[in-house]
């Protein structure tokens, strides 16, 4: 996992271990899943965790902040 | 002859007075010791769990007073026994402060730790389905994280049992250990360690 490409931070809650990924140019859910889970085929885990902001797993926007479960 | 009789009577009266006074002090000391024992026995069950050192000190003071009583030093026994309820009162004030502090710490742990461990469980569950682990995580490290999580979950149950049993100090101590272990697992998994788990 490249530290430069990945922006990680906790949530506002002081106990939250939630990992957040800010979408960069060229990112896809598959690539993000590969980065965090080592396996792109698990991209639906990220999609499901972000259904509140994502309507389609193939449509993510630069700057979107995605929860990584 | 008359003087001798008077002197004898006087001596008998004085001796009687001394004996009566002595017997009175003995009775007062006995009553004070009983009262001290009672306040200690009432405070002991909770004090043993929260301020064990202080209850031991108060019990030592009671034993000291009993020892003096046993040696016939009733005045000293009375004085020492009469001081015990005050010491118990101080201990109870200290117990309350400690209990409030431990309860606040426990409440904080109880609100945060389960949430933190849920995040770890979720990630471990997903990584267990992965065909290949991410670059920053070896198979060995992943196994270490899984066993760390299992231990943390088990210990958290122990902490909750201690809390239910009124052992606040023990519950908080175990809770803090769980917090440290969970933070280590988060680091292994490359996940952010929450601010509350860093302190």
The pLDDT score that the predictor gives to residue B198 is 86
B193 to A17: CB separation less than 8 angstroms, yes or no: yes
- Indicate the burial class of A10 (C-beta count within 10 angstroms; 0-12, 13-18, 19 or more): buried
Contact of A42 with chain B, judged by CB distance below 8 Å, is answered with yes
Instruction: State which residue of chain A sits closest to B125, comparing Cα positions.
Output: A69
A17 to B120: CB separation less than 8 angstroms, yes or no: yes
C-alpha B18: how far from chain center: 45
pLDDT of A8 higher than 60: no
Whole-number Å distance between alpha carbons of B114 and B154: 12
pLDDT tier at B14, thresholds 50, 70, 90? low
Contact of A22 with chain B, judged by CB distance below 8 Å, is answered with no
> Could you tell me the end-to-end alpha-carbon distance of chain A, in angstroms, rounded to an integer?
16
Whole-model pTM?
0.77
Beta carbons of B175 and B113 less than 8 angstroms apart? yes
Choose the mutation target among B121, B190, B198 for the interface with A, i.e. most A CBs under 10 Å: B190
Contact of A16 with chain B, judged by CB distance below 8 Å, is answered with yes
A11-42 tens-digit pLDDT: 348 999 999 999 999 999 999 999 999 999 99
Tally of residues, chain B = 199
Nearest CB to A17 within list B127, B132, B192: B192
Q: At what angle do helices B52-70 and B74-129 cross, to 10 degrees?
A: 160
Torsion of CA B83, B87, B92, B94, to 10 degrees: 160
């Amino acid at each position: 996992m490249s530290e430069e490409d990945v922006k990680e931070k906790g949530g506002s809650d002081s106990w939250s271990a939630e990992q957040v990924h800010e979408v960069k140019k060229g990112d896809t859910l598959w690539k993000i899943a590969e980065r965090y889970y080592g396996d792109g085929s698990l991209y639906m885990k990220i999609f499901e965790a972000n259904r509140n902001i994502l309507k389609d797993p193939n449509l993510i926007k630069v700057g979107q902040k995605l929860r990584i479960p | 002859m008359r003087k001798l009789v008077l002197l004898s009577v006087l001596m008998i009266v004085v001796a009687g007075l001394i004996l009566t006074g002595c017997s009175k002090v003995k009775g007062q000391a006995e009553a004070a010791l009983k009262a001290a024992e009672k306040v200690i026995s009432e405070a002991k069950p909770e004090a043993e769990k929260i301020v064990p050192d202080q209850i031991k000190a108060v019990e030592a003071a009671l034993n000291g007073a009993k020892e003096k009583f046993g040696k016939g030093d009733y005045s000293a026994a009375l004085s020492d026994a009469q001081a015990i309820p005050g010491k118990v009162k101080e201990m109870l004030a200290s117990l309350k402060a400690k209990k409030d502090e431990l309860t606040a710490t426990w409440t904080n742990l109880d609100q945060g730790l389960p949430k933190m461990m849920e995040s770890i469980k979720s990630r471990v569950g997903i990584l267990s389905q992965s065909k290949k682990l991410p670059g920053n995580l070896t198979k060995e490290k992943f196994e270490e994280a899984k066993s760390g999580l299992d231990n943390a979950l088990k210990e958290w149950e122990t902490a909750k049992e201690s809390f239910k049993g009124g052992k606040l100090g023990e519950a908080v101590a175990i809770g803090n250990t769980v917090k440290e272990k969970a933070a280590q697992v988060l680091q292994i998994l490359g996940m952010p360690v929450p601010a509350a788990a860093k302190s």
